Amino acid sequence: MDGLYPEHQERTSSRGAATARARQTQESGFLEDVFAGLSAPRKSLPCKYFYDREGSALFDAICALDEYYPTRTETALLRSRAAEIAALAGRSAALIELGSGSSVKVRLLLDAFDRPALYIPVDISREHLMISAARLAGDYPAVTVVPVAADYVQGFALPAGVAAERAVVFFPGSTIGNFRPGEAIGFLRGLGTRLGRGVRLLVGVDLRKDKAVLEAAYDDARGITAAFNLNLLARINRELDGTFDLARFAHRALYNELRGRIEMHLVSLADQTVRVGGRAFRFHRGETIHTENSYKYSVGGFRRLAARAGWQAERSWTDPKGLFSLHWMVWPG
């Protein structure tokens, strides 16, 4: 369990030292990842670094945008299927949410479930996680809330005493679409293997649709998504002594129909040199930093992907317009 539950570890060790250590590991990882991404022939940055305090707030604003249909569609789908999902989950379930953010959608499940026992929100954005977890714990006094500040891609296990058959992993928001398909298979297989036989997974997956609808969802009229993408450069400036001039980069979101994915980039508007952590990086005008992919699936396509990862898809639901899907799966072990 070493390294899996940083919150527990911090509570049991000297607080100052543990916090300093946690901060250090996170920062050195960030610097290394930025160096690696900006040194590559085709520049990129890992999307997990979007979610600092500013990024988390901007992401909440994206979720409320008219153009960003996934949040409200998934929420409506959860609301209409909550009773059915609750019956599948059974009594005293332990809910584990990957990338819990503000913990809004999960309330629909907690409201519908039969005496849910435990809620484990896992999120990389520590401060945002702690605030959201405390708020949720206040609203659900009967549920034990155990926040875990971690990059869930690095792996984690169930807390001792939680049987796999009682556990339900909730992975909403089509975050699975932010992995490449091969990586998604590896991640889903690892999840089942680690959590064990009988664990259930409720995953939200965005569906393929008209290019114009997709591109508007990732490039809204008010420029919130642009600000969210550019905040990654602002964060590098803040935390890694970067010299990015945000006026000399632009947000771009394009749907690659062949690959079925939205690609987000930051485009350099000039030939320029940017310094980060004492190193210089050259950009040509028009050169881009690839910051994220968001893969879109068909219902059948996603079920096939999950099957290749070893999961048994038991139910799939979509909204009446066929914009978004939810899947209930079991790990047969």
Q: Which residues bind ligand TRP (CB under 6 A)?
A: 62, 70, 173-175, 177-178, 218, 225, 228-229, 264, 292, 294
Residue 324's SS3 state is strand
Return the SS3 of 290.
strand
Q: Cβ distance 58 to 125 under 8 Å?
A: no
253: nearest Cα among 263, 243, 245: 263
Minimum CB separation of residue 17 from ligand TRP in Å reads 34
CA geometry: angle 44, 50, 52, nearest 5 deg: 140
Tell me whether residue 266 or residue 329 sits nearer to ligand TRP (CB atom).
266
Nearer to ligand TRP, 229 or 325 (CB): 229
How far apart are alpha carbons 314 and 170 in whole angstroms? 15
Q: Which residue number, 62 or 93, has a Cβ lying nearer to ligand TRP?
A: 62
Judged by beta carbon, residue 146 or residue 294, the one nearer ligand TRP is 294
**Region for residue 91 given its phi and psi (left: phi exceeds 0; alpha: psi -120 to 50; beta: otherwise):** beta
Q: How far is the CB of 164 from ligand TRP (least distance, A)?
A: 26
| Residue that the structure tokens 């990862």 belong to | 309
In the complex, minimum distance from the CB of residue 206 to ligand TRP, in angstroms, rounded to a whole number = 6
Nearer to ligand TRP, 158 or 294 (CB): 294
Structure tokens at 156: 């984690």
The least distance separating ligand TRP from the CB of residue 102, rounded to whole angstroms, comes to 14
Q: Is the CB of 140 or the CB of 179 nearer to ligand TRP?
A: 179
- List, in order, residues 6 or more apart from 326 with CB less than 8 Å away: 74, 77, 78, 81, 202, 203, 204, 205, 316, 317, 318
Cα 142 from Cα 163, distance rounded (Å):
19
* Distance in Å, CB of 237 to ligand TRP, minimum: 19
By Cβ distance, which residue is nearest to ligand TRP? 294
CB of 214 to ligand TRP, least distance (A): 10
Helix ranges (DSSP H) in the chain: 6-12, 15-39, 53-63, 69-89, 106-112, 126-139, 181-195, 211-217, 224-240, 299-308
Q: Which amino acid is at 34?
A: V
Residue 150 burial (CB count, 10 A): 20
Closest CB 175 distance from ligand TRP, rounded Å: 4
* Shortest separation between residue 68's beta carbon and ligand TRP, angstroms: 6
Supply the minimum distance, in Å, between the C-beta of residue 173 and ligand TRP.
Answer: 5
Nearer to ligand TRP, 231 or 268 (CB): 231
Q: How far apart are CA 158 and CA 325, in angstroms?
A: 26
Q: Which is nearer to ligand TRP, 132 or 225 (CB)?
A: 225
Nearer to ligand TRP, 56 or 178 (CB): 178
Q: Tell me if 223 sits within 8 A of 305, measured CB to CB.
A: no
